[in-house]
Chains A and B, each alone.
Chain A
Amino acid sequence: MPIDKIFKDDASEEKGERARMASFIGAMAVADLVKSTLGPKGMDKILQSTGRGHSVTVTNDGATILKSLHIDNPAAKVLVDISKVQDDEVGDGTTSVVVLAGELLREAEKLVTSKIHPMTIIAGYRMAAECARDALLKRVIDNKENAEKFRSDLMKIAMTTLCSKILSQDKEHFAEMAVDAVFRLKGSTNLEAIQIIKKPGGSLRDSFLDEGFILDKKIGIGQPKRIENAKILVANTAMDTDKVKIYGARVRVDSMAKVAQIEGAEKEKMKDKVNKILAHGINCFVNRQLIYNFPEELFADAGVLAIEHADFEGIERLGLVTGGEIASTFDNPESVKLGHCKLIEEIMIGEDKLIHFSGVEMGQACSIVLRGASHHVLDEAERSLHDALCVLSQTVNDSRVLLGGGWPEMVMAKEVDELARKTAGKKSHAIEAFSRALVAIPTTIADNAGLDSAELVAQLRAEHHNEGCNAGIDVISGAVGDMEERGIYEAFKVKQAVLLSATEAAEMILRVDEIITCAPRRREDRM
C-alpha cells in the first residue's frame, strides 16, 4: 500500500541532506549576490522594478538590494530578513551581515560533508561568536569623555561609512554634515527630525546642511515673501469647508434664498475662524490641511503668510524647530504657544522655490539639502547619508568605536583561532571554520578592490600576531597599513550586531532538516 499523499497537490517536501543543501545553496547565492558591493571599492547594482515604468534604482546598499529581490528560497529569505533588521536597528553593515552569514554557511557545508553533525557545528559557532565578541570588547576605544576626540571619532566613522558609497568623492563634506546634524539631535535616535530634501541640479558638492528649517512649499499669492521676527502658528485644522461633525447632520433647504443664507453663514464661520487665528497675533500660519482660496485671501489681506498642506512630518518638525504647539482649536489665544523664528523668506534652490525658516529657537531639527545630477544619484546619496546618520546617532548613545578595514575581523579571527586550539572535541572544527568565515570579509574587501587578497590577508595575519597591532587593509594604497593613522573607524555597535545576527541566522538555517512548502494560495485570475 503506497503512502497516501498527506499534503496538498502543489506542496513539496524536502528532507535531510537535500533540504540542507537547498537552504545552503539559497543562502550562499544571496550572499554572493551582494558580496561584490562590500568595501570601499565595491560595485553598485542596478535594480529594475517589474512594475509600471520599470523604474531603475542604482545602489550599493545591501538592504536596499535585498529588499527589492523576489526570492523564493526560504533560507534566502532568512538572510534578507536579517539585513532588513540590521538596517532598522543600526542602519549600516547590511551587506557585511549577509556576507558573514553566507560565509558561515559555506564553512558549515564543508563540515557537514565531512560528517559533522549540524548541532555540533552550532555549538562551536556559538562558542566562537561569544569569544569573538569578547575579543572586540577588549579592544574597543571609548572617547565619550573627551568631546573633541569624540567628535573626531564620529567624523572618522562617518567617513568610513561613506567611503563605500557614491558620496566617497566628497566624503569629508558629507561626514561634516552628518556629524553636525546628529549633534543637533542631542542624543535622540529619532532621525525624523533631520529632513532631507532632494533637488536635482548642481553637483553633490553643492549639498548643504541648513541650521534652520526648509519647507518644500510655496508662499500664497499676494502674501509677504519675507517676514522678520515671525510668530508662527502651527496648526492642524480644516480650512476648507469646515464641516459639521455631528453625526447625521445635513442641510435641507427649500429655496435658493436659504441656500445663499447658509452659504453666507458658512463664510461667516470661516471668517470667524480666521479672525480667531489672527487674534493670536501671528504673521505666519502653517496648516497641515488644505487652505481654500477664501481664507487664504483673508490671510493675505491681514498680511499673514499662510502655508497650506504641509505634510505631517513637516508639521511635527516645524513644531519641534520653532517651539510652537500644533493647534487645532483657536479659542484661547493667550495660552497657545506660538513658534518663533528670526526670518522667513522664500529661497530658490535650482529652479524651485522653498520656504526657509532661519534663526529658530530650538535647534533639534535641521534640513539637509542634497543636490546632484540625477534622481538616481540623489536617491543613492540619500540612502548613503541615511546610513551614516543612523550609525552616528547610534554611536552617540553607545560611544565605543573600533578600527575598520578588516581590523576587527582579524582580531576576532585570531582570538577564535586560539580558542579552537584549546577546545577539545569536534567543536573545534566548527570554531576554526568560524575564524575562516571571519577572514573572508577582509578577503572580499581586497578582492573587490582588485588587490591580491591572498597576499594581503596573509600579511595581515602575520601583522596581527603581534599584540596590539592596528593593521588593516588600506584599499586606497593597496597595502596593509595602520588603521589608526589612516583614520578608518567603525562603530562597535554595528560590528556587534553584524556578528550576532549573522551567527543567529546561520544557526537557524543549520538547524533545519526539512523544508515543507505549502501549496501556493490560488489567486483569482483578474484577467
Chain B
Amino acid sequence: MALAFDEFGRPFIILREQDQKTRLRGIDAQKANIAAGKAVARILRSSLGPKGMDKMLQGPDGDVTISNDGATILEQMDVDNQIAKLMVELSRSQDYEIGDGTTGVVVMAGALLEQAERQLDRGIHPIRIAEGYEMASRVAVEHLERIAQKFEFDVDNYEPLVQTCMTTLSSKIVNRCKRSLAEIAVKAVLAVADLERRDVNLDLIKVEGKVGGKLEDTELIYGILVDKDMSHPQMPKQIEDAHIAILTCPFEPPKPKTKHKVDIDTVEKFETLRKQEQQYFDEMVQKCKDVGATLVICQWGFDDEANHLLMHRNLPAVRWVGGVELELIAIATGGRIVPRFQELTPEKLGKAGMVREKSFGTTKERMLYIEHCANSKAVTIFIRGGNKMMIEETKRSIHDALCVARNLIRNNSIVYGGGAAEITCSLAVDAAADKYPGVEQYAIRAFAEALDSVPMALAENSGLQPIETLSAVKSQQIKENIPFYGIDCNDVGTNDMREQNVFETLIGKQQQILLATQVVKMILKIDDVISNSEY
C-alpha cells in the first residue's frame, strides 16, 4: 500500500498492522467474491423444484436439521466468508418479504454472478455490467407485470389459492399430503385475513407441532392450542361456555416495586401478618369468582394455597402461559389482559365455547384446546408427524404456504411457475438487449442467459436433459407466443403450466429478480477486500 506523508515527512498509518492482513484488489477481488457467491448457489441448486433434494445439516451442538428450504439451509450453514454471508442475507430478506422462493433467489444470484465473471473476462468494467443488469432487471419486472394474470377468488371459492399453495408445497418433503396441507394453510389465512384491507396478520396463525401420529393427522383448529395443562390435577378437564379471566399477575402475595421491609418484632405483628396473608389469597380468588370467570389463565405461577383455593372454589386455572400465547388467547376470546385483580370486570373476560384438555400418546403429554372462541380471528395449525425433524420441516413448509396465500390476498396477480416466468423474461430481456447502444448490451444479454439457469436447474433436478428441454420450451414459447410453457418436472406429459396448475405469485417473482440483481450489483462493486489474515 502506498504510504502517505504529512508535511514533516512522517508517514501516516492508513491501515493498521498492514502486513498482518490479507488484501485482494481489483479483478482478483471480484473473481474471489464471485467464486464464493457461486459456491453458495451451487449448494442450493440441487434443492430447486419439486424433485429437488434435501440437505442434512448438523449444527454446532450436534443437532440435525433436514431441510429443502433455502433460507433455513443457509441460516444453519454457519458460513464464514463475507460474500457468502451476503448471499445468506439475500435469502433471508426474501424470506421476510415474501416467505417463498428463497432457494430460487440464491440460484438466480449465483447465475448472475457466473455470467458476470464471463463478461469480466471479456474486459467489461464491473460497473457497466452492474448497470446492464439493472436495466435488464427493470425490463424483466415490467415484462412480468405485463404477462401476469389476475386471479379471481373469494371466501367461498378458494380453490385457486389452494392450487398456488400446492405449487409451493410440492417441492417439500410433505408433498405426500400437499392437498390437505394447502387447504389447511388457505383456510387458516382466510380465517384471519382482512379482505377489505387486503391484509393478513400472520401472527394470528399459530403453528404448533407435536411429535407422534402421522402427517395426515395435521389439523386446523379454529381456536388456540396451548401446551399447558390445568394447574391442579383434579380440576375439570372440559369446560363448556367458558368465561376466561386472562391475568398477568401471579396468585401470590403482592410484591411492591419499591424496596421495602416488613419488620416483625412483636407477636401481634406476626399474627396480623398471617391474617393478612390468608386474606390476600382469599380475596384474589374471590375477585375472579365474583366477576363470573369460569377459567383463569395466568402468566405466572400459583402459590400452593392459592392453587387449592382455586380448585376448592371450582375455578379451573392454567399457569405459566407464555406472553405471546396469552395475547393470542386474548384476541381469540375477545378478552382483555388484566394486570391487577382489582381491575377485573365481567366485560374484560374472554369467551370460548369449549375448553378441553387432551392427552397424547403414552407419555404424560397434555394440551389445552380453546375452541369456538368469541372472535374466530385466531387459528392454530397443529402438526403431527413421525419425528422431530419432520415436524420442523413441516412447520417451515406451512410457513411458506401461508406466506404465498397471504401474498395472493395482498396482490392477486400470478405468473406461471415451472420456469415459465423465467423463460419468458429471458426472451423479453434478450429482445430488449439489442435496443441498447453501448457496452451494457452485453450485460443485458448475460442477464437473459442467467435467467435461463433457473429452468435449467429445474430440468436437471428432474432428471431431464437440461439444454434440450430448455431449448424446446423456449422455441415453443416463441412459436405460439404464449408465456406459460415451462419445464414438465413431474413427468405429467404436458409443459403447459396452466394445465398443470403451477402458479407463483407475481410479487414473489419480481422480488426474486430485484433482490438477486441488487446483491449481484453490490458484489460486483467491491474491488478491495481487506481481511484479518489467519493468525
Task: List chain A positions with a Cβ less than 8 A from chain B.
Answer: 1-9, 11, 13, 19, 23, 72, 74-75, 77-78, 81-82, 84-85, 87-91, 117-119, 126, 188-192, 236-238, 244-254, 258, 261-262, 264-266, 269, 316, 319-320, 325-329, 331-332, 335-336, 390, 393-394, 500-501, 504-505, 507-508, 511-521
**Residue B290 at the A interface, CB < 8 A?**
no
Residue of A nearest to B261 (CB): A248
User: Are B362 and A91 in contact, CB atoms less than 8 angstroms apart?
Assistant: yes
**Residue B276 at the A interface, CB < 8 A?**
yes
Would you give the shortest CB distance from A162 to chain B, in whole angstroms?
16
Q: List 5 A-B contacts (CB under 8 A).
A: A2-B35, A6-B80, A91-B362, A248-B261, A326-B308
User: Are A328 and B270 in contact, CB atoms less than 8 angstroms apart?
Assistant: no
Report if A126-B66 is in contact (Cβ < 8 Å); known contacts: A88-B212, A248-B260, A251-B265: no
Residue of B nearest to A16 (CB): B46
A6-B39, A500-B214 provided; 9 other pairs, C-beta below 8 A?
A: A1-B32, A3-B39, A19-B56, A81-B387, A85-B211, A265-B270, A501-B386, A518-B57, A521-B60
User: Are B264 and A262 in contact, CB atoms less than 8 angstroms apart?
Assistant: yes
Report if A81-B267 is in contact (Cβ < 8 Å); known contacts: A247-B256, A511-B173, A513-B55: no
CA A247 – CA B61 in complex, angstroms? 41
Residue of B nearest to A517 (CB): B58
CA A507 – CA B174 in complex, angstroms? 11
User: Are A88 and B265 in contact, CB atoms less than 8 angstroms apart?
Assistant: no
Residue of A nearest to B388 (CB): A81
User: Are B54 and A512 in contact, CB atoms less than 8 angstroms apart?
Assistant: yes
In the complex, chain B residues whose CB is within 8 Å of the CB of A19? 56
In the complex, chain B residues whose CB is within 8 Å of the CB of A251? 263-265
The 8 closest A-B pairs by CB, nearest first: A328-B308, A513-B53, A521-B60, A501-B386, A504-B386, A511-B54, A249-B262, A6-B84
User: Are B78 and A249 in contact, CB atoms less than 8 angstroms apart?
Assistant: no
Which of B190-198, B247-255, B518-526 lines the interface with chain A?
B247-255
CA A500 – CA B217 in complex, angstroms? 13
- Count the A-B residue pairs with Cβ separation under 8 angstroms: how many? 242
User: Are B80 and A319 in contact, CB atoms less than 8 angstroms apart?
Assistant: no
**Residue B390 at the A interface, CB < 8 A?**
yes
CA A511 – CA B260 in complex, angstroms? 62
Which residues of chain B in 304-319 are interfacial with respect to chain A, using CB atoms and an 8 Å cutoff?
304-305, 307-309, 311-312
User: Are A514 and B53 in contact, CB atoms less than 8 angstroms apart?
Assistant: yes
In the complex, chain A residues whose CB is within 8 Å of the CB of B265? 251-254, 258
CA A19 – CA B266 in complex, angstroms? 76
In the complex, chain B residues whose CB is within 8 Å of the CB of A245? 252-253, 277, 303
> In the complex, which of the residues A77, A190, A513 contacts B364, with contact meaning CB atoms closer than 8 Å?
A190
User: Are B308 and A190 in contact, CB atoms less than 8 angstroms apart?
Assistant: no
User: Are A328 and B267 in contact, CB atoms less than 8 angstroms apart?
Assistant: no
In the complex, chain A residues whose CB is within 8 Å of the CB of B478? none
In the complex, chain A residues whose CB is within 8 Å of the CB of B232? 326
User: Are B211 and A88 in contact, CB atoms less than 8 angstroms apart?
Assistant: yes
User: Are A126 and B176 in contact, CB atoms less than 8 angstroms apart?
Assistant: yes
User: Are B311 and A504 in contact, CB atoms less than 8 angstroms apart?
Assistant: no
**Residue B68 at the A interface, CB < 8 A?**
yes
> In the complex, which of the residues B43, B76, B270 contacts A514, with contact meaning CB atoms closer than 8 Å?
B43
Report if A119-B277 is in contact (Cβ < 8 Å); known contacts: A261-B267, A504-B387, A521-B61: no
User: Are B254 and A247 in contact, CB atoms less than 8 angstroms apart?
Assistant: yes
CA A272 – CA B344 in complex, angstroms? 34
CA A227 – CA B267 in complex, angstroms? 39
Residue among A4, A190, A266, A327 with the most chain B CB within 10 A? A4
User: Are A520 and B264 in contact, CB atoms less than 8 angstroms apart?
Assistant: no
CA A455 – CA B211 in complex, angstroms? 40
User: Are B277 and A246 in contact, CB atoms less than 8 angstroms apart?
Assistant: yes
CA A394 – CA B359 in complex, angstroms? 12
CA A500 – CA B309 in complex, angstroms? 47
Would you give the shortest CB distance from A294 to chain B, in whole angstroms?
17
> In the complex, which of the residues B31, B253, B307 contacts A1, with contact meaning CB atoms closer than 8 Å?
B31
In the complex, chain B residues whose CB is within 8 Å of the CB of A501? 386-387
**Residue B339 at the A interface, CB < 8 A?**
no
In the complex, chain A residues whose CB is within 8 Å of the CB of B123? none
In the complex, chain B residues whose CB is within 8 Å of the CB of A332? 312
In the complex, chain A residues whose CB is within 8 Å of the CB of B55? 512-516
CA A516 – CA B78 in complex, angstroms? 10
In the complex, chain B residues whose CB is within 8 Å of the CB of A8? 78-80
**Residue B493 at the A interface, CB < 8 A?**
no
CA A1 – CA B276 in complex, angstroms? 79
Report if A6-B78 is in contact (Cβ < 8 Å); known contacts: A78-B387, A328-B308, A504-B386: no
Which residues of chain B in 193-236 are interfacial with respect to chain A, using CB atoms and an 8 Å cutoff?
211-215, 232-234
Would you give the shortest CB distance from A82 to chain B, in whole angstroms?
5
Would you give the shortest CB distance from B45 to chain A, in whole angstroms?
10
Report if A518-B387 is in contact (Cβ < 8 Å); known contacts: A1-B35, A75-B56, A513-B55: no
User: Are A328 and B77 in contact, CB atoms less than 8 angstroms apart?
Assistant: no
Would you give the shortest CB distance from A437 to chain B, in whole angstroms?
17
> In the complex, which of the residues A89, A188, A253, A516 contacts B56, with contact meaning CB atoms closer than 8 Å?
A516
User: Are B386 and A4 in contact, CB atoms less than 8 angstroms apart?
Assistant: no
User: Are B62 and A72 in contact, CB atoms less than 8 angstroms apart?
Assistant: yes
User: Are A85 and B386 in contact, CB atoms less than 8 angstroms apart?
Assistant: yes
Residue of A nearest to B82 (CB): A4
User: Are B233 and A319 in contact, CB atoms less than 8 angstroms apart?
Assistant: yes
In the complex, chain B residues whose CB is within 8 Å of the CB of A237? 304-305
